[in-house]
Amino acid sequence: MKRTALLLAAALAVASPFAAADAATPKDTIVMAKQIDDIISLDPAESFEFSGSEAVGNVYEKLIAYDLKNVSRLYGQLADTWYVGGDGKTYTFKLRQGIKFHSGNEMTAEDAAYSLQRAVIMNKTPAFILTQFGLSKDNARDKIRAVDKYTLMIETGQAVAPTFFYYCMTAVVASIVDSKVVQQHDQNGDMGNAWLKTNSAGSGPFKLVSWKANDAYVLERNDNYWGGSKAIARRVVVRHIPEPATQRLLLEKGDVDFARNLTKDQLDAIADSPHIATQEALKGSILYLGLNQKNPNLSKPEVREALKWLVDYEGIEKNILRGTYKLHEAFLPQGFFGALADKPYKFDLDKAKALLAKAGLANGFSVTMDTRNLSPYTDVAQAIQASWAKAGVKLELIPADGRQTLTKYRARQHDIYIGNWGPDYQDPHTNAETYAMNEDNTDNARSKTLAWRNAWDIPAMTAKTKAAVLETDAKKREQTYLELQREHQQSSPFIIMYQQVEVSAARKGVTGFIMGPSFDNNLYHAIKK
């Protein structure tokens, strides 16, 4: 053993002269350690994963964007002004002049029209954000058109709340691409999709140098950036470091400037480090339990309510989630238009027992929960298992890989599912649609909203949710969402518990990383060291 250790040490000592003398990263390069294995494409018309959205958000721009500090305020990014016609269906965008893409080509309404048409025609996963306005492969070229060099017009199928449309235009899928460059790389009519997965043609403060799946992506400063948010760092390298413990070591050693996926224990451990600072941002993702209404016990209203009273919300937040999630009990995340701040539920064993007795289950019952084998899902699930047991509810946890539990959930074969859900865009309809709409509760339904997945048949609430999106009076619309959330809190088979807080750790002295409410507004341009 001793000899082996000596021999191993000797082998490593041989390598020691090769080790970098100074562990610091290059001055003009920002290095991040992050889990980026969720990226499947960096084409803005296709990218829909958290990491991909973040990369795309630094490379491309949209016509309009929202203020990260006050989400209800929209501002023009590539558009100067915009308005909706009297029919409520025709939207006009007057574009800024003199904006250059990375290639040096000038951005015109033709580019804007092509970008949005392209997203609709390619019809990749995020395209529904645009096609829900009555746009389709067949009508995209007529309904989205350049009126003149700097004017874009979009006709929607029906009049909706204008803010709904505008917030959808702030989504990644509505990013504007350099149409000339993209068309040059068209392969067999794919509208440049294959090329744009790993290359970029945008106008943002960075351009994409490379993306190697499960390895790294590299962004380089766009020195000709037109706007005020010109990048300070010359390069940003985001390396895929799957293991959080490894991320922490790299950060402590100074080999990376940021570690993006530290667990709560690691965050605790570095809390007193003189070399590391953390920053956090409230994200839209919500941690919830879904109770399948096909289960006869879970379909009883008293049982649903009892289980809501049986979660130790504060205890879990304080002891398990510690700063990575915040207590929240409504389906619209804090920061959204119409979000409800009420937190009616807390742990109340007596109330829960009384409700279970009323449901004829005074001695409790047995039920399973499909749980991703990842922190914090397993920890939260175990805490819930313990508190439910106090009322006689025997909860069996079924741990599995995330995609496996999701497959089961989407097939409605679960009893209870613990998961999180992040909004697709910044309008309340995104979450209202999934939590409070179920147009067809049959097994073969086309729309598999969260309400459907839990077999919750709600024709009245579905109608109310659909009406809310058409309401053009902002006050009335806000009121409707507040009512919907209150009703949902009381009757739904969802136990909504927490809202995610994204925490990023950085070397002290590395500043300027902007973390917005959505993953596509985690911005790098102001980072300096």
Partner 1 sequence: MTAARLLGTVALTFLGLLLVTFLIGRVVPIDPVLAAVGDRAPAAVYERVRIELGLDLPLYHQFWIYCTRVLGGDFGNSVMTANTVLDDIKRVFPATLELASVATIIGVALGVPMGVIAAVNRDRWQDQVIRVAGLVGYSVPVFWLGLVGLLLFYARLGWVAGPGRLDVAFDDLVAPVTGVILIDSAMAGEWEVFASAFSHVILPAAILGYFSLAYISRMTRSFMLEQLRQEYITTARVKGLSERRVVWRHALGNVMVPLITVIALSYANLLEGSVLTETVFAWPGLGQYITSSLFSADMNAVLGGTIVVGSVFIGINMLSDVLYRLVDPRAR
Q: Which residues bind partner 1 (CB under 8 A)?
A: 1-5, 7-8, 11-20, 23, 25-26, 29, 31, 33, 37, 40-41, 48-49, 123-128, 131, 194, 197-198, 210, 212-216, 218, 237, 239-243, 245-246, 249-250, 252-253, 255, 401, 403-404, 406-408, 410, 424, 446-448
CB 419 within 8 A of CB 408: no
**Which tokens hold the place of 46?**
């296709």
Q: Which is nearer to partner 1, 216 or 474 (CB)?
A: 216
Pairing of β 276-291 and β 64-66: unpaired
Nearer to partner 1, 180 or 234 (CB): 234
Q: Cβ 37 to partner 1, closest distance in Å?
A: 6
Please say whether the beta carbons of 264 and 323 come within 8 A.
yes
Q: 146 with 108: CB under 8 angstroms?
A: yes
Would you say 241 or 356 has its CB closer to partner 1? Answer: 241
Query: Which CB atom, from 352 or from 437, has the smaller least distance to partner 1?
Result: 437
Q: What is the C-alpha separation between 10 and 210, in angstroms, rounded?
A: 38
Spatial neighbors of 247 by CB under 8 A, at least 6 apart, are 33, 34, 241, 256, 259, 260, 261, 262, 266
Report the nearest approach of partner 1 to the CB of residue 421 (Å): 9
Q: How far is the CB of 393 from partner 1 (least distance, A)?
A: 26
CB of 220 to partner 1, least distance (A): 11
- Six-digit token pair at 286? 């919500």
DSSP string, 401-461: -HHHHHHHHHTT--SEEEEEE--SSSSTHHHHHHHH--S--STT-S---HHHHTT---HHH
CB 159 within 8 A of CB 470: yes
Pairing of strands 258-259, 29-34: parallel
CB of 253 to partner 1, least distance (A): 6
Nearest residue (CB) to partner 1, 96 versus 239: 239
C-beta closer to partner 1: residue 12 or 341: 12
| Residue 1 or 460 having the CB closest to partner 1 | 1
E strand residue ranges, 77-140: 79-84, 90-95
Q: Which amino acid is at 509?
A: G
Q: How far is the CB of 299 from partner 1 (least distance, A)?
A: 24
430 token code pair: 């995104």
Closer of 5 and 460 to partner 1 (Cβ): 5
How many whole angstroms separate alpha carbon 383 and alpha carbon 276? 31
Minimum separation from the CB atom of position 486 to partner 1 (A)? 26
Rounded distance between C-alpha atoms, residue 305 and residue 374, angstroms: 27
Cis preceding-peptide flag for 26 (omega within 30 of 0): no
Please report how close the Cβ of residue 240 comes to partner 1 at its closest, in angstroms.
Answer: 7
Is residue 385 classed as helix, strand or coil in its secondary structure?
A: helix
The residue (of 25 and 499) whose beta carbon lies closer to partner 1 is: 25
**Cα–Cα separations (whole angstroms), residue 128 to 50, 171, 299, 352:** 17, 11, 31, 41
Quote the least distance from Cβ 462 to partner 1, whole Å: 17
Which CB atom, from 13 or from 467, has the smaller least distance to partner 1? 13
For residue 418, the minimal CB distance to partner 1 (Å) is: 15
